[in-house]
Structure 1
Amino acid sequence: MNRQSLTTWRQLATILAVLLIGAVALGLRLRATQLLPIDYDEDDYLGAAQRYAQFMATGDVQGLVDYAYNYEHPPLTKLVYGVAILPLPPAPLLPEQSSTLPPAKSLPQPHFRIARTVSAVMGTLEVLALAILQPLAGLLLAVHTWTIKYTSQVMLEPLPALTSLLTVLFYVKFRRSRSSGRIPAATGWSILSAMALGLTASSKYTYCIVGLAIVADAVWLALAARTPRDDAGAPNHHLRAVIFDLLPWGLIAIAIFFATNPRLWSDPFGRLAQSLLYHGDYAQSAHVRQFNFPFWQPLVYLLGPVPWHPGVFVVMLDIFITVLAGLGLGRLWREYRVCALWLAIGLGFLLIWPTKWPQYILTITAPLSLAAGLGMQGALWEPLLRSLQRRRAPDGPALRTAGDQRIARRDSRRALPWLVPGIIALSLLALFPLIYQAAVALTDFNAISIRDGIQGGVWRAVWQGLTGQAQPVTVALFDSMTRTKEVHWAGPTVLGQLLGGAAPDLLAFNLLWVVLSMSLQAVLGVAAALMLHRRGVRWRNFWQTIFILPWAIPEFIGALIWLRILEPGFGWLALAQAIPADALRAQSVAGPDATLVQLLVAATWYGFPLIMLAATASLKLTPDEVYDAGAIDGAVGWQRFRWITWPLMRPLLAPALFVRGIFAFNQFYLFYTMRVEPPTITLATASYYLFAPTGNFGGQFAVSAAINIFTVLVLLGLILWLARLTRGAATEEVTYV
C-alpha cells in the first residue's frame, strides 16, 4: 500500500471514528433527556422560551425587546428554545417565580421534551467539533457526566459551550493559515472566530473567558517574538500586529453580541450594566452564602461524577478524565497553547468567583477533555503502539553468552545472604501490612467484629469470597452500615467507589493541600536561603539555626503550639487582641476557606526549613564564576535568578520537594490536633476518623483500609507523574547553564 492510499484510509478511519463518537454522545444525551428529573432553572428557561415563541408568533418585536424576566442572562439560548417550540400548539405559560424556588414538578409536553432534545443536539455538536480536532478528546467529552447532564436539560450551557469551542477552533485555524502565508483564509477564520465569540457572549457571559484566552495567546506570541531591537526600547512591531489583529476581531464580536441580544436594542449600555451588575450582587447574596462552598468546590466537581442521579449515566469516568488531563497538560501547552490558557484562566475564574454552581465547570470541560485526550494519547496509546512495534521488530537485543549468565548467577548467590535480611524486614514492615490492609478492604470488618477479625476472620472472608463460597455484603462509603459479630466478604465495592470518584471533596482538598502547602514552603524556603546567602548578612548561622528549629520540633508538638495560638476564645491570638471569647469564636473558622488559611500557616512554618537547607546547599555549591559570567552577559535581578540560580538549584530541591510532598499528602497530626472537620481534612485524617471506634461513622475498619489503599494508589500515581514531568529537566538546565 502506497503512502497516498494509507493517508486516504487514515482519513476514512478518522471520519468514521468522529461519526461513531457523535453517535455515542447523542445516544447518551438522549437517554439523559428521558431519565433526568426536572432541575432548577429549567422551568424558568422554558417559561422564557414560551414567551419568546409567543412574541415571534405574533410579530411583537417590542415585547421581544422589553421582556425582562431572567434579564441577568443574555437571551440567545432561550430564543433558540423558543424557535424550537414555535411550531407546537401553545401551552399555558409557566409562572414567573423566583429562581431560588424548587423546580416545578411537571412541565408542559411536548415543549419540555423538544427543548431538551435541542439541548442534546447542541451538546452533541460540541462533541463533534472537539472530536474533529482530537478524537480521543471528543470521546472523553462525550462521556463526561457533568457535561451530559447540563447539555441534556433546558439550561443555558449547551449553546455557549458549543460556540466557545468554535471560537477557539476557528482561532487555531486562523493561526495556522496565517503562519503558512494564506492571508485570505486566515481573514475568514478570524471573522468566524469573532462571530462565534459574539454568539457566546449572547448566550452566557462566563463563557467569554475563551476570549481572554485568545488575547493572552496573541500577546504571548508577540512577546515570544520580541527582538533585541524591541528590548532596546524601539517600538514593538509584534505587539502592534497583535493590536491590528485583535481590534477588528473584537469589534466584530461586539457587533454580533449586540445584534443577537434583542434586550439591548432599546437601551444598550444601561441594560447591559444592569445585567452584569446583577451577578456581582447575587454572588454575595444570602442564597449563595448559605451553601458555604469552599473556593476549591469546582475541583470537587471535576474529580467526581454527578452524584444525584443513579442509573442515568452509563459510564462515570470524570475522575479519570481529570487525571488524564493532568498527564496531558504539557502536551496541551506545546500543541494548543490557547486551550491551555483557556483551561488555566477558566479554572482560576471558577476558583475565585463566589458562585459555585456545578454547571459553571462546563466553561472548561472542552479544554479539559482535550488535555485528557492528549494525555491518554501520550501516556497510554502511543507507548502501547511503540511496545507492539518493538515486539514485531526482527532484531532484538543480543543475548548474553553462557559465561556471562554463569557470572550473573554466581554474583546473585553471593549477594543473596546480604539481601535476605532486608527482604525480610521489608516484607514484615511494609509488604505484609499493605497486603493485610488490602484484605481488610475487601470485607466488612468493623468494631463489632473485631474479635473474629483478629482471629482469622478477615482471611476466612477473603478466601470464601475469592473461591465463590460467599456472596458480597453491602458496604457503603461514609455510611453507618449494619454490623455483625462476624467478618463477611464485601468485595472491592468501597475501593471501586473511591476510584470512581465517590469522595471527590476529600481528594480535591488533599491535592489542593499538597499544591498550596508545597508552594508556600518552597517560596519561603528559597527566599530565606537567598536572603541568608547574601554578602554582609550578620549572624548568618544564628538565623539559620532559628529557621531550622521548626523542622526539629515533632509535628504533633508543632500542631499543639499552633492550636494554642489560634484557638478561638482562649488562644494566644485571642488573648492578645482582647476580643471576647464568644465573639472571636463566632468569627474564627467561619468556613473552610478560613480553616485552610490557618492550616497553611502552620504547615508552612514547620515545612519550609527542609527546602531552605536544600536551597542553601545548592547556593554554596554554585561557583562565583557562573554569576560573574552571567553579569558580563547582562543577567541581573530576576534574570540572574531565572537563568542561573534556579536551574542550578533544582537538582537539590527536587528530592526535598518530593519528600515534603509525600509528607503533605499524608499529613495527619496537624488536622487531628487542630480539630478540623470535613471537607478540610486529608485522606489520612478521614481514614483515622473512620478507624477510631468513636463517632457516628467510627469503627469502620474495612472502609478505613480501603481509603488507605486508595491513598497509596493516588500517591504512587502522583509520584510517577511528577517524575515523568521533571524527567531530565534539571540535568538539561544545568548542562545549558
Structure 2
Amino acid sequence: MPLKRILGVTLLLLALLAATWQRARAVERLPPDYDELIYLPVAYRYAELLSGGRWGELAAYRENFEHPPLVKLLYALELLASGTPEPDWKTVRVGRPIPEPAVPVFRWTRWLSAGMGILQVGLTGLVHPVGALLLAFDAYHAKYTAQAYLEGVPGLFAILSVLAFERARRRALEAGQGRPFQLASLALSGALLGVAAAGKYPYAMVVGLAFLPFLIGYGRARGRVWAAFVLPAMATFLIANPALWSNPVGNLWASLTFHWNYSHSEHVVRSALPWYQPLYYLTHATPVRWHAGVFATGATVWVLLPLAAMGFPATLRQRPVWAAWALVGLVFLLLWSTKWPQYLLLILPALSVCAGMGVSTLYRLVASAVRRRAVGGPQSLQG
C-alpha cells in the first residue's frame, strides 16, 4: 500500500476514534439544552401513538410542526425499543445536571444523534482525512450531534447525497458517452436528499442549491436529468414525512412559512444577533466556554476558515460539489435571519473538506519550496 494511502487511512481511523471519544464525553456530561426539552416530550407523544397503532393521529399531530417529524420518530422508536419511561419534565432544567430518573432518556436519544455525527466524520474522511480530524474535534459539531437535536440524521443524509451526486458525475465521465450524469446514482442522490429534508428542511435547501449549478449547467438530456433527481427526492421526502400525508401541499406550506415568520419574530429580533454572527461562531469556540471540561479543544476555529479559504481553489478543481456546498451554505447562513449556533452544522462538513484541502495545498507549497532550495543550494555554492 502506498505511503500516502497508509497515512490517509491512519488519519481517518484517528478521526473516528477522536469523534467517538469526544461525543461520548459530551453525551454523558452535557446538561439538558433548550431544544432537547422540546423534541424529547414530542418523541414520547409519538411513541404513544406508534405503540397504539394510531397512524391517523400520528399524521395529524401538530406539536413542533415547524420541523418534520422524522428525527423525533426515530427517537420515539428508540424509546419504545428500550422501554425507557418518561421522566417528570418539570424536574429537568436547562443548563442544570440531568436528574437521575431522566438520565436514560437523554443517554439513549443522544447516542442515536452521536452515532450519526460519528458517521458524518467518517464519510467526510473519505473525501479528506484531515478534514475529518478537524470535524471530529469541532466543538459545535460535537455538541449538537451529541445532544438530542435534529442535526445528526439530516446532516448524515446530506453528506450521503453529496457523495452520490459526485458519483453520478464521475460515472458519467468514465462512461464517456457525453451524458452529464449517471442517472441511477443521480436518483440515489435525490432520494437521499429527500430523507435529509424530512429530517430538517435547511439541509436539503442548502445542498439542493449547491447542486443547482451542476444540474442547470448541462443542456443535454435535461428533462431526464431533472426527473431522475427530483422525483426520487419528492417521493422519499413525502414517505418519510407523515406530517404531510393528509394534505401535502397545504401542510408543507404551513410548515415552511412558520420558519419565515419565526425568522422575523419578536424572539429572533430581540436576540439582536448581527448578520455576521455565523462568522463569529466560526472563529470562536463558544461551546468550550459554555461547557467547561467537556470539549477537548476549541483550537479548530483558529484554523478552519483560513485553511478553508486556502483550500477552496483546490476543492473547486477536485471536488467542486463540496466547494459549492461550502460557498452556498456560508451565504445562506449570512443571509438567513435566524442565527442560532446549531445552524453551523449545515456547512461544517463542507468547510472541513475545504480546510483539509488547504492543509494539502500548504504541504505542497512547503515541499516545493524545500525542493527548490535543495536544488538551488549546491548551484549557489558552486557559483
Same fold (TM over 0.5): yes
Tell which has more relative contact order, 1 or 2 (C-alpha 8 A, sep 6+).
2
Aligned residues: 373
- Find 2:126's aligned residue among 109, 132, 136: 132
Q: Give 1:574-723 correspondences, 5 Å limit.
A: none
Q: Does residue 199 in structure 1 map to residue 198 in structure 2?
A: no
- Find 1:331's aligned residue among 314, 324, 344: 314
Q: Is the Cα contact below 8 Å between 1:47 and 1:93 reproduced in 2? A: no
Q: Match of 1:203, as an amino acid?
A: G
Give me the whole-angstrom Cα distance separating, in 2, the residues matched to 1:216 and 1:344.
12
Cα deviations by residue, 1:392-413 (Å, 9 ceiling, x for unpaired): 87x9532446xx7xxxxxxxxx
Q: Is the Cα contact below 8 Å between 2:11 and 2:130 reproduced in 1? A: no
Q: Assess, with a 3 A threshold, how the Cα gap between structure 1 residues 207 and 331 changes in structure 2: closer, same or farther.
A: same
Structure 2: state its 5+ residue gaps: none
Q: Which residue of 2 aligns with 1:247?
A: 227
Q: Match of 2:214, as an amino acid?
A: D
Q: Give 1:495-506 correspondences, 5 Å limit.
A: none
Q: Is the Cα contact below 8 Å between 1:47 and 1:94 reproduced in 2? A: no
Q: Is the Cα contact below 8 Å between 1:21 and 1:142 reproduced in 2? A: yes
Give me the whole-angstrom Cα distance separating, in 2, the residues matched to 1:305 and 1:72.
28
- Find 2:303's aligned residue among 311, 317, 320: 320
Once the 2 structures are TM-superposed, how far is the Cα of residue 15 of structure 1 from its aligned partner? Answer: 3.3
Q: Assess, with a 3 A threshold, how the Cα gap between structure 1 residues 278 and 105 changes in structure 2: closer, same or farther.
A: farther
Q: Does residue 297 in structure 1 map to residue 291 in structure 2?
A: no
Once the 2 structures are TM-superposed, how far is the Cα of residue 20 of structure 1 from its aligned partner? Answer: 2.5
Q: Does residue 186 in structure 1 map to residue 182 in structure 2?
A: yes
Q: Match of 1:164, as an amino acid?
A: A
RMSD: 2.5
- Find 1:278's aligned residue among 258, 267, 271: 258
Q: Which residue of 2 aligns with 1:345?
A: 328
Once the 2 structures are TM-superposed, how far is the Cα of residue 102 of structure 1 from its aligned partner? Answer: 5.7
Cα deviations by residue, 1:547-600 (Å, 9 ceiling, x for unpaired): xxxxxxxxxxxxxxxxxxxxxxxxxxxxxxxxxxxxxxxxxxxxxxxxxxxxxx
Q: Assess, with a 3 A threshold, how the Cα gap between structure 1 residues 37 and 339 changes in structure 2: closer, same or farther.
A: same
After TM superposition, the structure 1 stretch with the greater mean CA deviation from structure 2, 289-298 or 47-56, is 47-56
Give me the whole-angstrom Cα distance separating, in 2, the residues matched to 1:182 and 1:29.
44
Q: Is the Cα contact below 8 Å between 1:75 and 1:202 reproduced in 2? A: yes
Q: Is the Cα contact below 8 Å between 1:175 and 1:186 reproduced in 2? A: yes
SS of aligned partner of 1:266: coil
SS of aligned partner of 1:153: coil
Once the 2 structures are TM-superposed, how far is the Cα of residue 248 of structure 1 from its aligned partner? Answer: 2.2
Once the 2 structures are TM-superposed, how far is the Cα of residue 366 of structure 1 from its aligned partner? Answer: 1.0
Once the 2 structures are TM-superposed, how far is the Cα of residue 219 of structure 1 from its aligned partner? Answer: 2.5
Give me the whole-angstrom Cα distance separating, in 2, the residues matched to 1:19 and 1:102.
35
After TM superposition, the structure 1 stretch with the greater mean CA deviation from structure 2, 76-85 or 384-393, is 384-393
Give me the whole-angstrom Cα distance separating, in 2, the residues matched to 1:280 and 1:373.
34
- Find 2:364's aligned residue among 371, 375, 382: 382
Once the 2 structures are TM-superposed, how far is the Cα of residue 12 of structure 1 from its aligned partner? Answer: 5.0
Q: Give 1:18-417 correspondences, 5 Å limit.
A: 18-92=12-86, 106=98, 108-181=102-175, 186-208=182-204, 209-220=206-217, 222=218, 239-306=219-286, 307-316=289-298, 317-379=300-362, 381-386=363-368, 396-400=377-381
Q: Assess, with a 3 A threshold, how the Cα gap between structure 1 residues 36 and 104 changes in structure 2: closer, same or farther.
A: closer
Give me the whole-angstrom Cα distance separating, in 2, the residues matched to 1:186 and 1:259.
24
SS of aligned partner of 1:110: helix
Give me the whole-angstrom Cα distance separating, in 1, the residues matched to 2:201 and 2:278.
18
Once the 2 structures are TM-superposed, how far is the Cα of residue 120 of structure 1 from its aligned partner? Answer: 0.9
Q: Match of 1:398, as an amino acid?
A: Q
Cα deviations by residue, 1:609-650 (Å, 9 ceiling, x for unpaired): xxxxxxxxxxxxxxxxxxxxxxxxxxxxxxxxxxxxxxxxxx
SS of aligned partner of 1:31: helix
Once the 2 structures are TM-superposed, how far is the Cα of residue 13 of structure 1 from its aligned partner? Answer: 4.7
Once the 2 structures are TM-superposed, how far is the Cα of residue 199 of structure 1 from its aligned partner? Answer: 0.6
Once the 2 structures are TM-superposed, how far is the Cα of residue 60 of structure 1 from its aligned partner? Answer: 2.2
Once the 2 structures are TM-superposed, how far is the Cα of residue 295 of structure 1 from its aligned partner? Answer: 0.8
Q: Is the Cα contact below 8 Å between 1:43 and 1:94 reproduced in 2? A: no
Q: Match of 2:56, as an amino acid?
A: Q
Q: Is the Cα contact below 8 Å between 1:328 and 1:374 reproduced in 2? A: yes
Q: Match of 2:327, as an amino acid?
A: A
Q: Match of 1:308, as an amino acid?
A: W
SS of aligned partner of 2:182: helix
Give me the whole-angstrom Cα distance separating, in 2, the residues matched to 1:121 and 1:212.
27
Cα deviations by residue, 1:641-696 (Å, 9 ceiling, x for unpaired): xxxxxxxxxxxxxxxxxxxxxxxxxxxxxxxxxxxxxxxxxxxxxxxxxxxxxxxx
Q: Is the Cα contact below 8 Å between 1:350 and 1:360 reproduced in 2? A: yes
Give me the whole-angstrom Cα distance separating, in 2, the residues matched to 1:136 and 1:12.
13
Q: Is the Cα contact below 8 Å between 1:43 and 1:103 reproduced in 2? A: no
Give me the whole-angstrom Cα distance separating, in 1, the residues matched to 2:30 and 2:123.
25
Once the 2 structures are TM-superposed, how far is the Cα of residue 103 of structure 1 from its aligned partner? Answer: 7.1
Q: Does residue 17 in structure 1 map to residue 27 in structure 2?
A: no
Q: Assess, with a 3 A threshold, how the Cα gap between structure 1 residues 261 and 175 changes in structure 2: closer, same or farther.
A: same
Q: Is the Cα contact below 8 Å between 2:32 and 2:94 reproduced in 1? A: no
Q: Assess, with a 3 A threshold, how the Cα gap between structure 1 residues 370 and 78 changes in structure 2: closer, same or farther.
A: same
Q: Assess, with a 3 A threshold, how the Cα gap between structure 1 residues 267 and 94 changes in structure 2: closer, same or farther.
A: farther
Once the 2 structures are TM-superposed, how far is the Cα of residue 38 of structure 1 from its aligned partner? Answer: 1.0
Q: Assess, with a 3 A threshold, how the Cα gap between structure 1 residues 86 and 252 changes in structure 2: closer, same or farther.
A: same
Q: Is the Cα contact below 8 Å between 1:41 and 1:103 reproduced in 2? A: no
- Identity fraction in percent: 36
TM-score norm. by structure 2 comes to 0.90
Once the 2 structures are TM-superposed, how far is the Cα of residue 88 of structure 1 from its aligned partner? Answer: 2.3
Q: Match of 1:54, as an amino acid?
A: E
Q: Match of 2:82, as an amino acid?
A: L
Q: Match of 1:193, as an amino acid?
A: S
TM-score norm. by structure 1 comes to 0.48
Q: Assess, with a 3 A threshold, how the Cα gap between structure 1 residues 53 and 104 changes in structure 2: closer, same or farther.
A: farther
Q: Assess, with a 3 A threshold, how the Cα gap between structure 1 residues 23 and 90 changes in structure 2: closer, same or farther.
A: closer
Once the 2 structures are TM-superposed, how far is the Cα of residue 188 of structure 1 from its aligned partner? Answer: 3.0
Q: Assess, with a 3 A threshold, how the Cα gap between structure 1 residues 377 and 193 changes in structure 2: closer, same or farther.
A: same
Q: Assess, with a 3 A threshold, how the Cα gap between structure 1 residues 33 and 202 changes in structure 2: closer, same or farther.
A: same
Give me the whole-angstrom Cα distance separating, in 2, the residues matched to 1:143 and 1:106.
24
Give me the whole-angstrom Cα distance separating, in 2, the residues matched to 1:262 and 1:84.
18
SS of aligned partner of 2:158: helix
Once the 2 structures are TM-superposed, how far is the Cα of residue 54 of structure 1 from its aligned partner? Answer: 2.4
Once the 2 structures are TM-superposed, how far is the Cα of residue 389 of structure 1 from its aligned partner? Answer: 5.7
Q: Match of 1:141, as an amino acid?
A: L
Q: Is the Cα contact below 8 Å between 2:308 and 2:351 reproduced in 1? A: yes
Q: Match of 2:237, as an amino acid?
A: F
Once the 2 structures are TM-superposed, how far is the Cα of residue 202 of structure 1 from its aligned partner? Answer: 0.0
Q: Assess, with a 3 A threshold, how the Cα gap between structure 1 residues 217 and 34 changes in structure 2: closer, same or farther.
A: same
SS of aligned partner of 1:30: helix
Q: Assess, with a 3 A threshold, how the Cα gap between structure 1 residues 340 and 280 changes in structure 2: closer, same or farther.
A: same
Q: Is the Cα contact below 8 Å between 1:328 and 1:375 reproduced in 2? A: yes
Q: Match of 1:310, as an amino acid?
A: A
Give me the whole-angstrom Cα distance separating, in 2, the residues matched to 1:155 and 1:198.
19
Structure 1: state its 5+ residue gaps: 1-5, 223-238, 405-737
Give me the whole-angstrom Cα distance separating, in 2, the residues matched to 1:13 and 1:298.
33
Q: Assess, with a 3 A threshold, how the Cα gap between structure 1 residues 391 and 400 changes in structure 2: closer, same or farther.
A: closer
Once the 2 structures are TM-superposed, how far is the Cα of residue 57 of structure 1 from its aligned partner? Answer: 2.4
Cα deviations by residue, 1:358-390 (Å, 9 ceiling, x for unpaired): 1111111111111111011101x2334446666
